[in-house]
Amino acid sequence: DRHPEPQVAPDPSKKTLVVLGTGWGSVSLLKRLDTENYNVIVISPRNYFLFTPLLPSCTTGTIEHRSIMEPIRTILRQKRASVKYYEAEASSIDPDRKVIHLVDTSDIKGTITETEVPYDMLVIGVGAENATFGIEGVREHSCFLKEIGDAQLIRKKIMDCVETAAFKDQSQEDIDRLLHMVVVGGGPTGVEFAGELQDFFDEDIKKLIPEISDRFRVTLVEALPNVLPSFSKQLIEFTESTFKEEKIDIKTKTTVKRVTDKTIEAEITRPDGKKEKIVLPYGLLVWATGNAVRPVVKDLMGRIPAQKDSRRGLAVNEYLVVQGTRDIWAVGDCAVAGYAPTAQVAAQEGNFLARLFNNMAKTETLEEDIRELSGSLNVKPGNSAEISRRIEETERQLRRIKDVKPFNYSHQGSLAYIGSEKAVADVSWFNGNFATGGSLTFLFWRSAYLSMCFSSRNRLLVINDWFKSKLFGRDVSRE
């Protein structure tokens, strides 16, 4: 039923649990949390969950962006007890006063644009921002690939470059520059985007605008000696050779130092160790050099002495409690727990916290039951045998529940799409590692991601998009 539920006022007997963010970590927690045990408040500037693994496919229209979004309101509507959601950014957290300062950062504003929310328990799942390493010109001139808006902007810019290159009497120099698409960062984001872009060109642009077809180029720039550093050697080689076939130029040992509106300046290390400066003119620049800590997280780290040596985010213990605090937990890319910043880790951490919080609530209820039963022992001595049996049973239950094992990440493997209907997979199966690349892996990649999609609605939309783009080609209209 689609009618709004009556507003449930916060229950003063319950603790207030505030969850920051609507990404992989926070939403996995919310999905499994028994919300009736707490007054739950969610704060995030994004009122939807985003299925990031398929975001690179949105940059070219293989998948439409709304197919990988799921409104947080729909997710929260399915919970047994009502959950409050505020579309806002947490700008600071005061762990001494136990309050969060939040700001409405959306376009439309009311009289109140900032306020405070108190918490008893806080989960931080705000993710990370894009790393630029302070390199000049990056923020001004490049596109990132983290959010829906980024993918939409890239999609628009690709076609703008193509149409401008096809403009009547366009200069030869500009045709070459505009059709040179540069991707900086050879991690999975950069590799997947480069593959999708080359597909777009080979399968659609080339056919629709044949006059520019011999000028389109994709270059992937990576500072390290190879791309996909977290994959096995065999898959790195497979990716590099597939890119060669696809005509994607990989420039390894090349570090970008400066970006202008039309060029990138990089330093390349030659095989003899000599460094050389190169200048690459570009039409589209996509910057994918990994994660940096968000300001709200940096600010909090500065307030907690135990965090002073942590650099990449909030250092957490084995129960994901932020070191130096008692009632703040962190999940996903903003937490440093010794794992890679991936959706897989964030989701498992969110699930773990849901179990932990459900257990904590159950523990409190059972302890209350034991207190009550013990009290009634003196009042109803005739029933003492039965009451003692129930106390014992409850204590047994309590011991079982209290024994929560620390968080333990179970790696299911790494998957990446590399273009021309090929994917690479480093999968752990039956305690063994299995590295594979190619077209079958591509089918595995598609089915794995489909099964991981948030909802059946998402799944249907994604399948529909795949068929649609295969059958009719990608939509090249520029919105």
**Contacts with ligand FAD, residue ranges (CB under 6 A):** 20-26, 43-46, 52-53, 55-56, 89-90, 125-127, 145-146, 189, 294, 296, 332-334, 341-344, 346
Query: 130 contacts which partner out of ligand FAD, ligand NAD, none, CB within 5 to 8 A by kind?
Result: none
Alpha-carbon gap, residue 360 to 250, rounded angstroms? 51
341 versus 438: smaller Cβ distance to ligand NAD: 341
Member of 40, 334, 415, 462 binding ligand NAD (CB under 6 A): 415
Q: Does 196 bind ligand NAD (CB under 6 A)?
A: no
Name every residue whose Cβ is closer than 8 Å to that of residue 430 and which is 6 or more positions away in sequence: none
Query: 155 contacts which partner out of ligand FAD, ligand NAD, none, CB within 5 to 8 A by kind?
Result: none
187 versus 350: smaller Cβ distance to ligand NAD: 187
| Residues from 168 through 187 that contact ligand NAD (CB under 6 A) | 184-187
> Nearest approach, Cβ of 154 to ligand FAD (angstroms)?
11
Alpha-carbon gap, residue 146 to 12, rounded angstroms? 39
Which tokens hold the place of 105?
Answer: 């950062």
Name every residue whose Cβ is closer than 8 Å to that of residue 50 and which is 6 or more positions away in sequence: 23, 68, 69, 147, 148
Query: 224 contacts which partner out of ligand NAD, ligand FAD, none, CB within 5 to 8 A by kind?
Result: ligand NAD
Using alpha carbons only, give the angle 133, 325, 295 rounded to the nearest 5 degrees.
Answer: 25
384 versus 412: smaller Cβ distance to ligand NAD: 412
C-alpha torsion 287→201→156→173, nearest 10: 80
**Site map (CB under 6 A) of ligand NAD, residues 260-289, x = contact:** ----------------------------xx
Q: Which of 144, 145, 151 is nearest to 59 (CA)?
A: 151
Which tokens hold the place of 180?
Answer: 């040179």
Name every residue whose Cβ is closer than 8 Å to that of residue 276 and which is 6 or more positions away in sequence: 267, 268, 270
Alpha-carbon gap, residue 433 to 435, rounded angstroms? 7
Cross-strand pairs, 437: 424
> Nearest approach, Cβ of 55 to ligand NAD (angstroms)?
8
Member of 290, 413, 438, 473 binding ligand NAD (CB under 6 A): 290
Q: Are strands 422-429 and 432-438 parallel, antiparallel or unpaired?
A: antiparallel
DSSP-based three-state secondary structure for 141: helix
42 versus 179: smaller Cβ distance to ligand FAD: 42
> Nearest approach, Cβ of 152 to ligand FAD (angstroms)?
13
Query: 213 contacts which partner out of ligand NAD, ligand FAD, none, CB within 5 to 8 A by kind?
Result: none
Q: Is the backbone of residue 473 left (phi > 0), alpha (psi -120 to 50) or beta?
A: left
Q: Does 188 bind ligand NAD (CB under 6 A)?
A: yes
Query: 195 contacts which partner out of ligand FAD, ligand NAD, none, CB within 5 to 8 A by kind?
Result: none
Alpha-carbon gap, residue 6 to 317, rounded angstroms? 39
At 124, give phi and psi (nearest 5°).
-100, 120
325 versus 414: smaller Cβ distance to ligand NAD: 414
> Nearest approach, Cβ of 386 to ligand FAD (angstroms)?
48
Binding residues for ligand NAD (CB under 6 A): 53, 135, 184-190, 192, 221-224, 229-230, 255-256, 288-291, 340-342, 414-416
